Structure 1
């Protein structure tokens, strides 16, 4: 959403730029949408916390009885520190991964976390570590994809999950290891079209129906995440009523087939948080290149945010709406011109206005001037979560805007001490 220019300028004066601004009202509305989708008895929502693992957001999920899908040991620990409970009864926190690394296995054992394995070899890893509890198995159903091709979550090119035809061999391995499979899971991704999502979810539920006769201990089926968010059209709404009906009917079919109580789960990530955060940056200069034999010239708005802050445009060519604060770009009388928005990094790819072929894709914007604030909208999902310290730049602060207009800092700007705190000099041999 667009925030009042006076608010953004005041915050920029207090904390500097760039900064992230979360809007509690927007995030709570998205949480309410998911609560509506899952208000059928036996249907439960999780939050794929990798999208936005801020403690403030995790606490909002706990208050709404949204469970957690974590993908690393430290994500589990973050969820625990935010107040989410341990244990398998019920498994409020689930750890989904294709490889156990770092502290993942100790965290699972010490906190009674349900592991959702995506590779058959993880069964041996769990057995060797002394784990004897229930497990979930992530299936690659052979179809589905993410919001861009680089985010393929199902099919021959996807690394995620166990191929459907290998599932029964994996079950035999689990049986021999004494590990009981209590959940089957798949994630088909947040494809760009609602009808595609609806059709893929229906197809996925049908696949699980055929498996339940063999997996007699399964008490939960997860249809994964994948509810899309439209980054280009802020007026577009996902038709959630049909999804509500779909999840209810899928649950009924699964229970009827299994002839036992089953829980149906979904685990959106992007949908909860994408529109709920704006990256605010400052224009430092406007400069131009000229056309020559290599191509056309361009006008560059140089800003102090870069792909260390928001990497999605550089990584995927993804689209984020851009506004020049205080310049009404919806007024047809305000002239616009093609502008390339570029960051401060010593990298040619530090451009926010690129397409998925990595080519410049200038935006038609009111001409900015040095000192203007510029906003990159819909930055809540995989924004701060994927930010980095490349070029030894500290991560920007995160601010939280409450319904009553109050604002708090939920993480400060990092400094050089933060960047160096893990460096050491310890002799090993």
Structure 2
């Protein structure tokens, strides 16, 4: 189910007061729900020594969220200089950061290897030669190609730009060893929003088989396997939850079997983002207009620049109208913003209760890839972010953008190159 009943019970009674105080639109996140999910994940994999979640910073790159993850003992999965900077700012050390980039630039390498470095996860065999200084611990991102198809969102690995191909993987580690690497991990990422837990179990099995293959060929042991992220959440009311407990039990059994056979087992890492915060955020926006032409439209004061997933991917986000959750759904309408794009829609032909100007709409499951994917087309300003704290108070954790922010890059020292 989208948005837990517990979050609703704590947010909805105060939503209008929050909206009047801060103004709409805004994303608001649930600290209690986030911490409960971190505990659930740690419990599911407690049987694997060295288990560690590296939160996917790209999902919700707000320092207040990252600080929660750090306090819960999680690392950070980073893929850009900005994400590295945010992670280090909240206290993540070298062993708490896994840097996985693609088409990695010299500037990216410099940032990753500075400040004590991090766990460097290389995306291509050619990057071995481009790494300024090979760290003692190195990891490669593996792309299995035809040996395994991806899920419906991430597509077929053979068409993906990511990772080292199967026929290159042993040579990649061999080259890294020649450059000075002495400790090893392996990573893959084959799913996005996957709610079939068996898919993740098979990913773990695949990596353990690969660890065995590479280890036998090169005489090395692996410190960790990273099965990536991609754990899914139920966006639609009829969707089932991911069976995390069964996933934990079956993956733990695989690691125990590996240990019995080889006398050791690598640690298990993963890098979930959506699963950790997605259900624990909502976009609150106010209805400001109704339009009836060939179909009905409800205009709101947020637009696609505040949540691009429905317009970009056709994704479903459940919508409640505050105070009308139990009213008959007599309205069929598109819920739209003011952007000059026809795909600026939060819902298409959605069944909703009757909506009047001034009503608050709660657009659910925006705690991952929501604010993080905001943009400025049409000069739209990105909204504020709030946190519903465990004690029931609300903190603003990011203010809304202003025109001064938007125009800041137009203030510069003139620089003309004569040709």
Is this a same-fold pair by TM over 0.5?
Answer: yes
Return 5+ residue gaps in structure 1 as ranges.
291-297, 354-360
Query: What is residue 118 of structure 1 aligned with on the other side?
Result: 123
Q: Deviations over 1:12-58 (max 9, x none)?
A: 11221110110111111111111112212232222112111111111
Distance between the aligned counterparts of 2:107 and 2:20, measured in 1?
A: 40
Matches within 5 A, 1:42-53: 42-53=50-61
Distance between the aligned counterparts of 1:107 and 1:9, measured in 2?
A: 43
Distance between the aligned counterparts of 1:263 and 1:4, measured in 2?
A: 38
Aligned in 2, Cα 1:102/1:324: closer, same or farther, shift over 3 Å? Answer: farther
Deviates more, 1:95-104 or 1:113-122: 95-104
Query: What is residue 58 of structure 1 aligned with on the other side?
Result: 66
Higher helix share: 2
Aligned in 2, Cα 1:181/1:426: closer, same or farther, shift over 3 Å? Answer: farther
Matches within 5 A, 1:240-279: 240-260=244-264, 262-279=266-283
Distance between the aligned counterparts of 2:266 and 2:206, measured in 1?
A: 18
Q: Is the 8 A contact 1:20 1:398 kept in 2?
A: yes
Q: Is the 8 A contact 2:195 2:241 kept in 1?
A: no
Query: What is residue 343 of structure 2 aligned with on the other side?
Result: 349
Residue 320 in 1 paired to residue 317 in 2? yes
Length, aligned pairs only: 403
Query: What is residue 68 of structure 1 aligned with on the other side?
Result: 76
CA positional deviation for 1:171: 2.6
Q: Is the 8 A contact 1:141 1:204 kept in 2?
A: no
Q: Is the 8 A contact 1:310 1:387 kept in 2?
A: yes
TM-score (structure 2 length as normaliser): 0.90
Out of 176, 185, 188, the residue aligned to residue 187 of structure 2 is 185
Out of 11, 29, 33, the residue aligned to residue 18 of structure 2 is 11
Q: Is the 8 A contact 1:26 1:276 kept in 2?
A: yes
Residue 374 in 1 paired to residue 361 in 2? yes
TM-score (structure 1 length as normaliser): 0.88
Partner-residue secondary structure (3-state), 2:157: coil
CA RMSD between the two structures: 2.1
Residue 404 in 1 paired to residue 391 in 2? yes
Query: What is residue 140 of structure 1 aligned with on the other side?
Result: 143
Aligned in 2, Cα 1:47/1:106: closer, same or farther, shift over 3 Å? Answer: same
Distance between the aligned counterparts of 2:267 and 2:201, measured in 1?
A: 19
CA positional deviation for 1:99: 1.9
Return 5+ residue gaps in structure 2 as ranges.
none
Matches within 5 A, 1:191-230: 191-215=194-218, 216-230=220-234
